[in-house]
Structures are given as structure tokens and as C-alpha cells.
Copies of this chain bind each other. A is one copy, B any other.
Amino acid sequence: MKSLIVKKFGGASVGSIRKIESIAQRLSEDRKRGEQPLVVLSAMSGYTDSLIQMAHKVHPHFQGEAYDMLVSSGEQISISLLSLALEKRGLKNKPLLAHQAGIQTSALFSKAHIESIQIEKVKALLKKKVMPLIAGFQGVTKQNEITTLGRGGSDLTAVALSSALKVKTCEIYTDVPGVFTADPRLVPKAKKQKSLSFSEMMEMSYLGSKVLQIRSVEMALKYDVKLHVRHAFKKEEGTWIINKKEGGMEGSVVSAIAHDLNTLVIKFNKTPSGVNFLSDLFTELGKEAVFVDIISQSAIGAPSRLSFSIPKTDLKKSLSVLKKLKVEKNISVINKVAKISVIGVGMASHSGVAGRFFSVIKKTKARLYLVTTSEIKISTVIDEKSLKKTARALHKEFNLY
């Protein structure tokens, strides 16, 4: 099966019947060119969200089998519709739900992990030149209960299938032409990148890019599957996510700028002293599944100053933790902020990146709330108003045009 390629279509690329027809047309042309596609599909865009809304209406916050059974129905609909569209074009195909494809997961509902895939069934279909259409995002436990893999889980399904089939490339089709140096809505001069390393892509996913789910990039790295992110309805190549040598093969220090508006800062006006408080605070926030992002504490002088950032969507849960710890009157919530980051494997071997970064911040007069760095990124929370000009200035500073 030399020409076997795993192709995942997601997001807005399966957003309507017309688009599903276009996917069928593309697959039919792929077939004529000698490719043998194995297709993984997401739900039609918006559909899963409307199911989630229904679930929340009936029983807010419930997690378990019923919820996963409900939200997994979206992929069932998209693979059946694509199957009909392929039938119409005379292409032999077989729609497969997770229980039919043998995608077995842990019993952690709504964020299950794929444990194994009984790949023989899919292999048998491929051997007979039948195109498998696999429902992404879903799995079954050993007890045959339906699970889902969390947001963006269809990417994970695609990578897991590529790995199980020992296929070296997995194509991720979406409604954008690839991964850009920055969000073009923010930086109009942003350009499509030819390639990114796995670690750069992971940082980008973590730092706000919505193109790929971070777990799927991790998994691709682990099993050495190249990802090709490309536009579902255009022929041109997209962006390759590959195993690049650290140090910037292409000579660029910074590869991309990422931003995230779903963030806010909680700042302590007066931090309760003692290491016990910090331990209690972050343990309790963890229990409530609050995603604490950047933490900053300056221990210089007393009282010490603590701030941390969380997604805007976790504010309610955080406030109830702070209330429980009786410090809710001691804090300020800073809402109108944004996270902006520069990412690049080249940073590890180039000094002076931080200096260039902060002189841009100085020039744009952005108000800086939090900073964190790693070998391949610098990430800051700044005031929302300064986001656009800072993004553009950073883009220019690091020659991303």
C-alpha cells in the first residue's frame, strides 16, 4: 500500500453538504491520480457545539457516557453523508464508527486516550480498494462504551491511524491554506510557512493557534508521522510539520507569532504569606480543572506580589476557589489583556532575542503584565489595546515577511 495517505477533513471544511460534495470530488480525483486515501472526518462545523448546548441545558457540567454518546453523533452524520456523496460518484467506500473500526480508548469520558486500534479491519478494506471513512473524535472502551477524545480529537484519530498503518504522512485538511507566521487578521502581511518543527507547532498550539490540537502534534512527533496542514479546496501545498533540526534550518530565529485573547490576569493586591498558601491555591485551582498559564511572583520585599493568568472561560471556577480560600477581596481581575508570543527553534542558539523582543514592547508602549520564556519561545501578557501594533512590530522585527 505504497500510495496510502491518511486524510483528515475537519472544521469548516465539512461545514455544509456542498463542502462534503467538494471533499468527495477531491477524493475521487486523488483516486484517479493513484492515491489510496483513508479518510478521517470531524463533525460538520457548529454541529458539535449545538449538541453541547443541548447537553448543558439538560444537565450542566455532567461528564460521562451519555454526554460522549451525544456529542459523538456529529461524526456519524458527516461520515454517512460523505459515504453517500462517494457512492454517487461510484467510489467504493465504507463508513466506520469507532466501535466498528476498533478504536479502543481509556474510560476517561470527554478526554479519553487512544489505547489501541484493531487495524486489521481497515487493512482488509484497503486491500479490497474500499475507501475507509472513519469517524474522528470518538472511541470505545473495553466495555464498548462510547468515549470522545476532547476538542480537536479528530486530528488525534488521524495521527493514531497513520501510526497504526505505519504511514509516514498525515494530511490535515482545513479551511486555511496552512500555518501562518501570525494570524493574518491581526498581521495582514503574515505569510504561509513552508515548514515548522514539531516543537514549534506544539508551542503554537499551546499559545493560541487553533490549526492543530497539541496532543495530535505530540503524538505525531512520538510516532514520527509528518503532518501536512493544507486547504481542503485548493491544490497548493500547505505547511509541513516535521522533525527539523534545532537551530533554524532556514536561518530564521523566530518562526511565528501567536496570540490568544482568551486570557485574563488575576493579581493579588496583597499576597497571603507562606509557601503553604501558594500550594493550597494552585492545588485547589487544579482540582477545579482551572488551567493556570503564566505565574509570576516577585519575592523581593514584603508583601510579595503574585499574579497569574487563566483562560477567561475559567474565571467563574477560579473565583469560587479564591472565595473558598477567603482571599477573594484581596485580588484584582485584569480582563482586557492578550497573550502574545514569539516562537522559533532558532532562538535556542541565538542570543539577543529577548532583548529585541522587549525593545519592541518598549517601542509600542504595551503594558506588560506577565512574562514567561522557554528555549524556543517568549510569551507575554500585555494590554489588549496594544496587541495589534505589537504583533505587527514583532513580525517586522524578526523578518517574518
Contacts and interface: CB of A to CB of B under 8 A. Distances in A.
Interface stretch (A71-79, A202-210, A265-273): A71-79
Nearest to A74: B73
Contact of A80 (B66, B88, B100): B66
Interface stretch (A26-34, A54-62, A286-294): A54-62
B58 A81 contact: yes
A259 B62 CA distance: 47
A85 interface: yes
A46 interface: no
A114 to B, nearest CB: 20
If over half of A's interface residues share one DSSP class (helix, strand or loop), that class is named, otherwise mixed; here it is helix
A186 interface: no
Contacts of A84: 55, 58-59, 62, 66-67, 70
A21 interface: yes
A64 B81 contact: no
Contacts of A55: 80-81, 84
Interface in A235-283: none
Interface string A82-105: 011101100000110101100000
Contacts of A54: 17, 77, 81
Interface string A291-313: 00000000000000000000000
A57 B73 CA distance: 20
A144 interface: yes
Interface-central residue, A21, A66, A73, A81, by most chain B CB under 10 Å? A66
A12 interface: no
A58 B146 CA distance: 28
A366 interface: no
A117 to B, nearest CB: 16
Interface-central residue, A55, A77, A88, by most chain B CB under 10 Å? A77
Contacts of A97: 69, 146
Given A58-B17, A58-B20, A76 B70 contact: yes
A85 B146 CA distance: 18
A65 interface: yes
Given A66-B80, A67-B80, A70-B76, 14 more contacts: A20-B58, A55-B81, A58-B84, A58-B85, A59-B84, A59-B88, A62-B84, A64-B87, A65-B94, A69-B79, A69-B80, A69-B83, A73-B73, A73-B77
Interface of A: 17, 20-21, 51, 54-55, 57-59, 62, 64-67, 69-70, 73, 76-77, 79-81, 83-85, 87-88, 94-95, 97, 99-100, 144-146
26 contacts: A17-B54, A20-B58, A51-B77, A55-B80, A55-B81, A55-B84, A58-B84, A58-B85, A59-B88, A62-B84, A62-B87, A62-B88, A65-B83, A66-B79, A66-B83, A67-B80, A69-B76, A69-B79, A69-B80, A69-B97, A70-B76, A70-B81, A73-B76, A76-B76, A97-B146, A99-B99
